[in-house]
Amino acid sequence: MKKIIIIVSIIIVVAIGGYEIYQTNEAKMTVETDATLINALLKNNWSEEGLNSLVGDFEQIIFRPTDLVAGGPVLYYQTYSNGGLKVQFTNNEDNNHIYSLIFNNEFEDKIMGEIDMNSSLEDITSILDSPHFVNEDIGLIGYKLERFYMFFIGKENIEEISIYPRTDYDKTIINKAFKAYNKAKVPSDFIDILWKDYDYISGESTLTVYNYNNRGIIVESVDASIDNSNYVKLKIYGNYVGDIIDDISLPDNISDIQNRKNELLNQGIEILLDEDSIYNCEMERLLDDDNKLKDKFDLCGEKSPNGDIFLLNLFSMYTGNRIRLYDENKENLLIELLGVGKYGWINDRYLVYDSTYGGYNQSKYEKNIERNGIYIYDCINRKETNVISSSDRWYTLLSWDNNTIIYTKGEDNKKYKINYSFRKSNDIFFEMEELFE
């Protein structure tokens, strides 16, 4: 049986902002990983194609709350295997790869070695030893391994396992980029040398932020030719490995960095040795999913007629209007529906809506999604049905009562109808489209 090297550690505890990061002096052990998803992804370098060959095509897109921030990155998940696996890909058109994988209790296979969603926290610590990261408030432990980070979330039982790949890179790039930039202080001279496989870009106007969380680097670039306020700034985290300037590199020169922080700041370099960019990303993901949605539930939420389903109405400048359907406890997401305009409940089981989706700002993962029509979502079978659609016309829902859906399409100002009825099983049945007089 083949093996991979996994890192465990002697622990030094550092308190930061209310949580504990466990910094590591690395030692090595082996963990069997044959015939598991993670071992297969390691072999194909965390590629999208490799993932799809293992678990099939994605089922739906779920946007993260961060896409509501002006200038923020458009982040989203793609779900696989009946929602048991959520995957974030790098938002990079040219060099995409897996950014993170999040497993929940719907995922039934082995994830790594003998670790699966039924493993206990005791099982995890017996396999991987003492954790490198601990946050007791939210029930998180995490490990910085040789080729990926692995986090376990849950206070009593494991509710999620998240994995962030660590990819190899040229560790001289930052130093080379600074040398090019310092000749004329032109930001593009720095960016042209920088790695091209960034995780994602954010920013607006003349500000562009290149995120390399995978490597522990964030680059902020401003190119404002009008007022000559050009600059490049870097945040470098404790998990970065490589050269920074000629006589400073990590982790070799940690003591020198402590003594030269002001000098480095004057060059636009902020070094955060006590922070880990990937751990920060995981914390941000968890807080995004919890805190931001709690506020949205109060502002934008409504119940189905009998209260069995909770509907959350969201809008983003990037994604347009969309709605999420949750169970009555607001805990389990049933589906996220894109491009929804007008909508209403036929009964507690069926939601009817018009939808137009597609446009200039779609990522490559959305470009095959075209939605122009009237749709029904079945909350019991968790299935969306296309009642009627067209690739070249849009539809506007007018009413949906008395067993009749009435709508317009395009600009002809005519009204159309489709009658519906229910079978003994309460399944809905639609008749042919007719002009509505």
**Per-residue pLDDT tens for 202-226?**
877 788 899 999 999 999 998 876 6
Which residue segment(s) compose the domain that 370 sits in?
304-435
Same domain, 353 and 319: yes
**Which tens digits make up the pLDDT trace of 158-170?**
999 999 999 889 9
| Res 31: pLDDT | 40
Dihedrals phi, psi of 278, to nearest 5 degrees: -75, -40
- Is residue 279 in some structural domain? no
Query: Cα–Cα distance between 142 and 330 in angstroms, integer?
Result: 27
Per-residue confidence at 17, pLDDT binned at 50, 70, 90? very low
User: Region 133-155: what's the mean pLDDT?
Assistant: 93
- Is residue 287 in some structural domain? no
Pick from 156, 229, 230: nearest CA to 189? 230
- Residue 309 confidence (pLDDT) above 50: yes
Query: Cα–Cα distance between 27 and 37 in angstroms, integer?
Result: 25
| Res 4: pLDDT | 40
Write down which residue in 122, 142, 165 finishes a domain: 165
Query: Cα–Cα distance between 319 and 62 in angstroms, integer?
Result: 11
- Residue 10 confidence (pLDDT) above 70: no
Query: Cα–Cα distance between 285 and 140 in angstroms, integer?
Result: 13
Same domain, 333 and 361: yes
- Is residue 293 in some structural domain? no
- pLDDT greater at residue 344 or residue 289: 344
Cβ atoms of residues 15 and 269 within 8 Å:
no
User: Region 25-39: what's the mean pLDDT?
Assistant: 53
Per-residue confidence at 28, pLDDT binned at 50, 70, 90? very low
- Collapsing DSSP to helix, strand or coil, 207 comes out as strand
| Res 350: pLDDT | 95
Instruction: Pick the range with the lowest mean pLDDT from 39-43, 153-157, 323-327, 363-367.
Output: 363-367
**Which tens digits make up the pLDDT trace of 338-360?**
888 899 999 999 999 998 876 54
- Is residue 331 in some structural domain? yes
Same domain, 150 and 183: no
Q: List, in sequence order, the alpha helices (H) in 5-154.
A: 37-43, 48-55, 121-128
Number of structural domains (the chain) is: 3
User: Region 140-156: what's the mean pLDDT?
Assistant: 93
Nearby residues of 204 by Cβ (< 8 Å), 6 or more positions away? 70, 71
- Is residue 294 in some structural domain? no
Same domain, 312 and 395: yes
Q: List, as one string, the DSSP characters of 165-199.
A: E-----TTHHHHHHHHHHHHT-HHHHHHHS-S--S
- Is residue 33 in some structural domain? yes
Dihedral sign for Cα atoms in the order 192, 193, 197, 203: negative
Cβ atoms of residues 84 and 102 within 8 Å:
no
Bridge partners of residue 16, in order along the sequence? 19
Per-residue confidence at 21, pLDDT binned at 50, 70, 90? very low
- Is residue 333 in some structural domain? yes
Same domain, 128 and 186: no
- pLDDT greater at residue 96 or residue 262: 262
| Res 282: pLDDT | 94
The torsion defined by the Cα of 262, 263, 265 and 268, in degrees rounded to 10, comes to 170
Same domain, 103 and 195: no
| Res 400: pLDDT | 94
- Is residue 120 in some structural domain? yes
* pTM of the model as a whole: 0.76
- Residue 307 confidence (pLDDT) above 50: yes
| Res 27: pLDDT | 33
In terms of residues, how long is the chain? 437
Same domain, 108 and 45: yes
Query: Cα–Cα distance between 373 and 369 in angstroms, integer?
Result: 13
| Res 418: pLDDT | 94
| Res 69: pLDDT | 54
Per-residue confidence at 362, pLDDT binned at 50, 70, 90? low
Same domain, 146 and 221: no
Same domain, 146 and 66: yes
Write down which residue in 117, 145, 165 finishes a domain: 165
